[in-house]
Amino acid sequence: MSSLENSVYDLAKALEDLELRIDERLEDETNNHEHFETIRRQAHAASTHARRASTNLASLITDMKALLPQNK
């Protein structure tokens, strides 16, 4: 995997970790349910977009590599 692909993967992982931490915090903060529910939905949406972007970017990188001459 290229460093760009690794970076995109790391971003998606970080967003998933953020979503998990928010879910854990929601369990502790029942008084602020509506506020945290909004944040959780936003984190989930960001994570979903990051996963899609990483998949699309990985495909794009593969396609671009195929266009480059092979170094031997």
For residue range 18-60, what is the model confidence (pLDDT) as tens digits? 888 888 877 777 666 777 788 889 988 988 888 888 888 888 8
Domain count, the chain: 1
Which domain does 49 fall in, by range? 3-32+40-64
Q: How high is the pLDDT of residue 71?
A: 65
Identify whether the C-beta of residue 72 lies closer than 8 Å to the C-beta of residue 29: no
What sign has the CA pseudo-torsion 19, 21, 27, 30?
negative
- pTM assigned to the model: 0.52
Q: What is the rounded average pLDDT of the residues 4-27?
A: 83
Residue 70 lies in a domain: no
In a domain, 9, yes or no: yes
Residue 37 structure tokens: 């529910």
For helices 3-28 and 33-67, angle between their N-to-C axes, nearest 10 degrees: 170
* Statement: residue 9 has pLDDT above 80: yes
